[in-house]
Amino acid sequence: MDISLAAVLPQLFTGLVLGMLFVLLAIGLSLIFGLMTVVNFSHGALYMLGAYFTVFFLGYTRSFWVALLMAPLMVGAFGLLVERFLIRRLYGRSPDDPLLLTFGLSLVLIETAKIIWGKIGLTLDPPRALGGAVDLGFMSFPAYRLFVIAVTVAVLIGLWAFLTRTNVGLIIRAGSRDPLMVRALGIDLNRVWLLVFGIGCALAGLAGALAGPMRGAYAEMGVTMVIESFVVIVVGGMGSLLGAVLAGILMGQVVGITTYFAPKLAEIMVFVVMAVVLLVRPSGIFGEAGLAE
């Protein structure tokens, strides 16, 4: 087997692109969980909606760039409705209940997607400007995949700036530390929860929109992704955004490298890494023990 750097390097880059999708999904899940102790099972279905909305807006406006902007916004708007009319009714009940409700919601969304867009998946081409490959000097790599990496990095920097440099960001961080104190200071946390849930869902929609031209759009595309994003969070440590980013990249690499040496094991290795982390460091690499348990 050829294990020269030239052969492995494209795998590492492919793994990095997958890692970016994991990061976008895991950050959204982790943000929502950190603030609201809600595990959003429908995150995978929202990722799927992101891909289908991209197809829809692309057909409607003929512009990939408009579609890439509109799809996450629409998924985010849908997320606002979900929080306002469904999740909000469950505050104060067992943390299992939002998980159960969003599980039901993802069944409904998957079946609805099959009714609207059919059982067979749709394919989606990257925009012409990003159609070719870019010569990086040491190897050439599809331009669209480099674009995915760039968009994710830009979004992460934006999110980081939002959380650390703005007043709303400050309230979000304070709210995940000590919601009671934030309330006592006269801040309406309901609106903060609504906003954060919307942002988290929009990130899932963005991941789906970016994934569309690489992996196509099909109704069940989100299910394995959401389970693997859970694994990313368990490995990175729930509530830690830095942990979600690093664990997402790590998992992308694990899949990328295993795909090269033993393709059949790729899906399994993710869980093996999780089991090892659970043994060695149960709270995750960056997690604080006992957070929201």
Partner 1 sequence: MTMGAFSQLVSRHQVAAFGIFFAVFPFLMPYRSLASQVLIFGLFALGFNLLYGYTGLLSFGHAAYYGLGAYGTGLTLAKLKVGSLWLGLTAGPMLAVVGAVVIGFFCLRRRGIYFAMLTLAFAQLLYFVAFHLADVTGGDDGLRGIPLLPINIFGWKIDLENSLAFYYFALVIVWLAVAGLRRILDSPFGTVLQAIRENGDRASACGYDVNRVKHLSFVFSAFFAGLAGALDALRLAVVPVESLYWVTSGQVVIMTLLGGAGTFFGPFVGAGTYLVLGDRLAVFTERWPLVIGLIFMAFVLFLPKGIWGTLVGKLPGGQAAEAKP
Residues that bind partner 1 (CB under 8 A): 33, 37, 39, 86, 89-90, 93, 95-97, 99-101, 103-105, 107-108, 111-112, 114-115, 223-224, 227, 230-231, 233-234, 238, 264-265, 267-268, 271-272, 274-275, 278-279, 282-283, 292-293
d(CA 288, CA 283): 6
Give the nearest distance from C-beta 165 to partner 1 in angstroms: 30
Exposure of 32 by Cβ count < 10 A (0-12 exposed, 13-18 middle, 19+ buried)? buried
- Residue 138 phi, psi (nearest 5): -95, -15
Residue closer to partner 1 by CB (options 108, 154) is 108
Residue closer to partner 1 by CB (options 45, 67) is 45
Give the nearest distance from C-beta 144 to partner 1 in angstroms: 28
Give the nearest distance from C-beta 8 to partner 1 in angstroms: 23
Give the angle 222-208-265 at the CA atoms, nearest 5°. 50
Residue closer to partner 1 by CB (options 136, 265) is 265
71's CB contacts (< 8 A; 6+ apart) are: 50, 51, 53, 54, 56, 57, 205, 206, 208, 209
Residue closer to partner 1 by CB (options 176, 283) is 283
Asked if residues 149 and 20 have their Cβ atoms less than 8 Å apart, the reply is: yes
Residue closer to partner 1 by CB (options 133, 272) is 272
Give the nearest distance from C-beta 289 to partner 1 in angstroms: 10
Instruction: List, in sequence order, the alpha helices (H) in 86-217.
Output: 96-117, 143-165, 167-177, 179-184, 189-215
Place of tokens 């992996």: 215
Residue closer to partner 1 by CB (options 89, 191) is 89
Give the nearest distance from C-beta 190 to partner 1 in angstroms: 18
Give the nearest distance from C-beta 286 to partner 1 in angstroms: 15
Nearest to 247 by CA among 14, 19, 13: 19
d(CA 249, CA 20): 7
